[in-house]
């Protein structure tokens, strides 16, 4: 009697014959050819009785014994039948999938690299870029300055790999590396994981709207970044749509620079809505953009509702008369803003006078820069007159550069200095330029 049991060998099932020892030891009963056949049967799994008649003998009680031990074989048959009944009559096959195995570790574990140099070199090799030697030499410094290095998208990706786990760098300056959207996305993903870096400068990197989307997504998750410079990255109104919700969600970012981009009217509306709900920013720069018209009004309204911003730079936009009027109304409501820059905004004299009405009741603003606007002497005079009429004014500095002032303003300034001796005025021409010669 021959038994076939399937066992797994390296994921494959083979049949293995289990024979009684007496059969395997009877050399006279098998020829060399029969031994070869037996080896083939073991591999193929074919169940064949290879014993001849002389292998079978009778017991005194008439029972046929196979190999001398028929009773043992019957016991094994019974045991097998019982096992089959327990398994529901189905053949039980053991496979590798029936076991839960732990991950197989190599013979030698890689040593932990706290500096990140190893993974940086591997990343550079994978991305086929030249490693930045300065980065390798200063990875343990608290400040990393890599301006104007020409990293590009691939170099930035390689750089982001070790920065994920770096615990030394607190301030990261990657200005002017032309990393583009893909590089910006790599830095954004890194900042989602890194919880040590607090200041980042990504200015002049051509991030575009793609990079803006990645950075905005990062701001929704990052809880350690305090200062972010995104100046000069060709952001458009689409970028503002991404940054709007991020500024509402993020409460840790305190300083944001979005200057020198292409943010327009719709951007002003989106950012205005966000600023009214933002609770983290302390300073914001939107200088050198294209915010005007309805966008300027909405942005000013947002500033009126914000109770955390201390410094706002809106220079080199197009606020005009409407924007200046809205800013005047915002200054009536805002009780925390200390510095406001609205230079080069095409504000006319009427706009300056309406802006001054907000200064007449504001108690916190300390510095106003309204230079290089066509507000003329009358606009400057109206602003200074409003400060004179506000005994609670905190004004310390007025900037009227490139605006010619006459004697009337000089006389008023002299009177105001008696009330606010700390007040300084920067003007475009000496007082008395138009003063008549004395007799």
Q: Around Cβ 390, how many Cβ atoms within 10 Å? A: 18
Domain limits for position 371 = 117-427
pLDDT for position 427: 85
| Total structural domains within the chain | 2
> 137 and 91 in one domain?
no
pLDDT for position 428: 74
Do the domain assignments include residue 439? no
> 15 and 71 in one domain?
yes
pLDDT for position 385: 97
Do the domain assignments include residue 107? no
d(CA 117, CA 111): 12
Do the domain assignments include residue 432? no
> 87 and 149 in one domain?
no
> 183 and 83 in one domain?
no
> 198 and 264 in one domain?
yes
Do the domain assignments include residue 57? yes
> 149 and 237 in one domain?
yes
Backbone angles phi, psi at 165, to 5 degrees: -110, 5
Q: Around Cβ 361, how many Cβ atoms within 10 Å? A: 15
Do the domain assignments include residue 384? yes
> 122 and 44 in one domain?
no
pLDDT in tens, the chain (439 residues): 444 444 444 443 333 333 333 333 444 444 444 444 544 444 444 444 444 444 444 444 444 444 444 555 556 666 666 555 554 444 444 444 444 444 444 444 556 676 789 999 999 999 999 999 999 999 999 999 999 999 999 999 999 999 999 999 999 999 999 999 999 999 999 999 999 999 999 999 999 999 999 999 999 999 999 999 999 999 999 999 999 999 999 999 999 999 999 999 999 999 999 999 999 999 999 999 999 999 999 999 999 999 999 999 999 999 999 999 999 999 999 999 999 999 999 999 999 999 999 999 999 999 999 999 999 999 999 999 999 999 999 999 999 999 989 999 999 999 999 999 999 999 876 554 444 434 3
Do the domain assignments include residue 319? yes
d(CA 210, CA 257): 18
The answer for residues whose C-beta is within 8 angstroms of residue 398's C-beta and 6 or more apart is 367, 368, 370, 383, 384, 387, 423, 424, 425, 426
> 307 and 277 in one domain?
yes
**Alpha helical stretches, state H, 320-375:** 320-333, 349-359
Strands (E), 136-291: 143-145, 171-173, 199-201, 227-229, 255-257, 283-285
pLDDT for position 80: 61
d(CA 228, CA 203): 9
Q: For residue 218, give the CATH number of its domain.
A: 3.80.10.10
d(CA 338, CA 301): 17
Span between the terminal Cα atoms of the chain, in Å: 143
């Amino acid at each position: 009697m021959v038994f076939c049991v399937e066992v797994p060998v390296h994921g494959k099932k083979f049949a293995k014959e289990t024979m009684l020892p007496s059969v395997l030891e009877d050399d006279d009963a098998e020829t060399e050819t029969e031994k070869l056949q037996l080896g083939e049967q073991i591999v193929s799994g074919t169940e064949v009785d290879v014993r001849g008649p002389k292998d079978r003998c009778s017991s005194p009680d008439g029972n046929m014994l196979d190999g001398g031990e028929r009773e043992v074989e019957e016991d094994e048959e019974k045991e097998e039948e019982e096992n089959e009944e327990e398994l529901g009559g189905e053949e039980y096959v053991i496979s590798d999938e029936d076991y839960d195995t732990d991950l197989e570790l190599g013979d030698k574990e890689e040593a932990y690299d706290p500096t990140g140099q190893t993974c940086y070199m591997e990343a550079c090799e994978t991305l086929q870029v030249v490693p930045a030697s300065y980065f390798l030499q200063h990875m343990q410094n608290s400040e990393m300055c890599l301006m104007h290095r020409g990293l590009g998208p691939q170099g930035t990706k390689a750089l982001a790999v070790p920065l994920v786990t770096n615990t030394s760098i607190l301030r990261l300056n990657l200005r002017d590396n032309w990393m583009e959207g893909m590089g910006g996305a790599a830095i954004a993903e890194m900042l989602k994981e890194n919880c040590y870096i607090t200041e980042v400068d990504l200015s002049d990197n051509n991030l575009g709207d793609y990079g803006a989307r990645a950075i905005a997504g990062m701001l929704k998750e990052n809880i350690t970044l305090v200062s972010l410079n995104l100046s000069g990255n060709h952001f458009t109104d689409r970028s503002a749509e991404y940054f709007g919700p991020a500024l509402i969600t993020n409460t840790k970012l305190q300083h944001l620079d979005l200057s020198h981009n292409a943010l327009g009217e719709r951007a002003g509306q989106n950012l205005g809505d966000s600023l009214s709900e933002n609770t983290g920013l302390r300073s914001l720069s939107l200088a050198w953009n294209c915010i005007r018209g309805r966008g300027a009004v909405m942005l000013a309204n947002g500033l009126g509702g914000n109770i955390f911003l201390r410094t706002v730079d809106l220079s080199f936009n197009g606020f005009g008369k409407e924007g200046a009027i809205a800013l005047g109304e915002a200054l009536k409501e805002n009780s925390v803003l200390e510095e406001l820059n609205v230079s080069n905004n095409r504000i006319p004299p009427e706009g300056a006078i309406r802006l001054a009405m907000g200064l007449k009741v504001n108690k916190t603003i300390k510095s106003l820069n309204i230079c290089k606007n066509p507000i003329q002497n009358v606009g400057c005079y109206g602003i200074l007159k409003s400060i004179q009429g506000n005994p609670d004014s905190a004004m310390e500095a007025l900037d009227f550069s490139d605006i010619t002032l006459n004697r009337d303003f000089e006389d008023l300034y002299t009177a105001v200095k008696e009330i606010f001796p700390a007040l300084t005025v920067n003007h475009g021409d000496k007082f008395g330029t138009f003063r008549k010669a004395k007799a």
